[in-house]
Structure 1
Amino acid sequence: MTQYKVVEKFISINGEGRLSGQLAVFIRFAGCNLKCSYCDTRWANEKDVIYELMTTKEIYEYIKSTQIQNVTLTGGEPLLQEGMLKLIEKLTEDKELSIEIETNGSISIKEFADIRKNPPKITMDYKLSSSNMEDKMVVDNFNYLRRYDTVKFVVGGSEDLQKVKYIIDKYDLSKITNVYISPIFGEINTVEIVEFMKDNKMNGVTLQIQLHKVIWEPDKKGV
């Protein structure tokens, strides 16, 4: 029986993405294969982090008990969990649920994008140079993004912004999926991002502020 390492499960609002501001039930899984410079859930990636082992059935029953329809699978890096495809297929069988996968862009999303029945929405990062993890990105993932998925760029300065424009143009991202730019909290003035977007006529691109860091303390857990 497959069991998943769950470090947090809670109800909150989506702080980012297409459903920003809407209620969601979050399942946060332990462990990550990256060490981003600005990671705000580093605690969930530690080898000695405390987690709860939960089966597919237990996770599904918890989600249904909340009566919340938006479900966000996050981490850490949820796609590292053995058996994640099986879990997602089970959750998507329930047409009342809207499943979102938050993934860091370093793992292939192909098998998850192939789910056709009530497909999960994939929110995928592209890590820029300020993360120190850009060399880990799987650019082939751009081939599997759909109209209801999202690519998220977290920027820390002008070099990151230039790379965002390059990637968007190279892969025509704003025409195939949803594109969001977020600032590294406390590292870049959002005015700089807006001016860059204006100067480069970045149609179809959305500036996003992480709502949960505005509403609560930036490092607060369980929100």
Structure 2
Amino acid sequence: MANYKVVEIFSSINGEGKRAGQLAVFIRMQGCNLNCRYCDTAWANEEDCRYHWTSTEEILELIHSMGIKNVTITGGEPLLQKDIGVLLENLAEEKELHVEIETNGSVDLKPFLAMENRPSFTMDYKLPGSEMEAHMLTENFSCLDQRDTVKFVVAGWEDLVRAKAVIEQFDLTKQCSVYLSPVYGEIDLEEIVYFMKRNCMNGVTMQLQMHKIIWDPQLRGV
């Protein structure tokens, strides 16, 4: 039986991404291979973080009991979970569900491409402000299509410049959705808009983390 280190399962609205504002079931896995300077879920990455071994069957049962059709698997870094493919294969059989997996850009996506009805990927590209850019696998860009999203979390002007360079180098706006998201409380939102206007960043979406506007930014399970 496949089991996963789950720190929380809850229902809320999607705070960002293509389905922002829509209800979703969130499944948060424990552990991450990166240590981003501004991580807002660092507590879930610690080795001593409390988690519950949760089976594929238990996860499916919880999803069914909530009656919500959007499912977001997040972390930490969920693709590091042993047997995560088993969970994704089972979710893929639930044709009425829309399954999204949030991944940090450092884990190879190729093993999941052959899956029928695969999940959509929301893949971060870590910019200089994260102090983790060296871990990015740019080969993952070739795995993405119109179902998927690349998210650039920006902390300042240097991050904006770097995001623009990566978007242009890999022609991302023609391949998938592209989002700029501010590090909460670190960058003037007008600065992002000014940069986008100055550089005619067509096809790029600026997005705020809706859940941090509605609730206390430090609150969990929302």
The question of a shared fold, defined as TM-score above 0.5 by the shorter chain, is answered with: yes
Which ranges of 4 or more aligned residues in structure 1 deviate by more than 3 Å?
none
1:2 aligned residue: 2
1:175 aligned residue: 174
Q: Distance in 2 between matches of 1:222 and 1:18?
A: 20
Q: Distance in 2 between matches of 1:81 and 1:222?
A: 21
1:134 aligned residue: 133
Q: Distance in 1 between matches of 2:25 and 2:85?
A: 19
Identity rate, percent: 58
Which runs of 5 or more structure 1 residues have no equivalent in the other structure?
A: none
Q: Distance in 1 between matches of 2:136 and 2:45?
A: 19
User: Partner of 2:57: helix, strand, or coil?
Assistant: helix
Preserved contact between residue 104 and residue 124 of structure 2 (Cα < 8 Å)? yes
Which runs of 5 or more structure 2 residues have no equivalent in the other structure?
A: none
How many pairs does the alignment contain?
A: 222
Deviation at 1:148, TM superposition (A): 1.2
Q: Distance in 2 between matches of 1:97 and 1:14?
A: 15
1:53 aligned residue: 53
TM-score (norm 1): 0.98
Preserved contact between residue 5 and residue 52 of structure 1 (Cα < 8 Å)? yes
Q: Distance in 2 between matches of 1:157 and 1:5?
A: 34
1:86 aligned residue: 86
Preserved contact between residue 7 and residue 29 of structure 2 (Cα < 8 Å)? yes
Q: Distance in 1 between matches of 2:114 and 2:151?
A: 21
Say if 2:215 is the partner of 1:216.
yes
Preserved contact between residue 2 and residue 86 of structure 2 (Cα < 8 Å)? no
Preserved contact between residue 31 and residue 46 of structure 1 (Cα < 8 Å)? yes
1:68 aligned residue: 68
CA deviation vs aligned residue, 1:146-166 (integer Å, no higher than 9, x gap): 111000000011110011110
Alignment RMSD (CA, Å): 0.7
Preserved contact between residue 113 and residue 120 of structure 1 (Cα < 8 Å)? no
Q: Distance in 2 between matches of 1:163 and 1:113?
A: 28
User: Partner of 2:121: helix, strand, or coil?
Assistant: strand
CA deviation vs aligned residue, 1:98-145 (integer Å, no higher than 9, x gap): 100000001011122332x32211000000000000000011000100
Q: Distance in 2 between matches of 1:216 and 1:76?
A: 21
Q: In the alignment, residue 73 of structure 1 is paired with which amino acid?
A: I
2:144 aligned residue: 145
Preserved contact between residue 7 and residue 28 of structure 1 (Cα < 8 Å)? yes
Q: Distance in 1 between matches of 2:69 and 2:39?
A: 27
CA deviation vs aligned residue, 1:158-186 (integer Å, no higher than 9, x gap): 11001111000000000000000000001
1:199 aligned residue: 198
Q: Distance in 2 between matches of 1:221 and 1:113?
A: 32
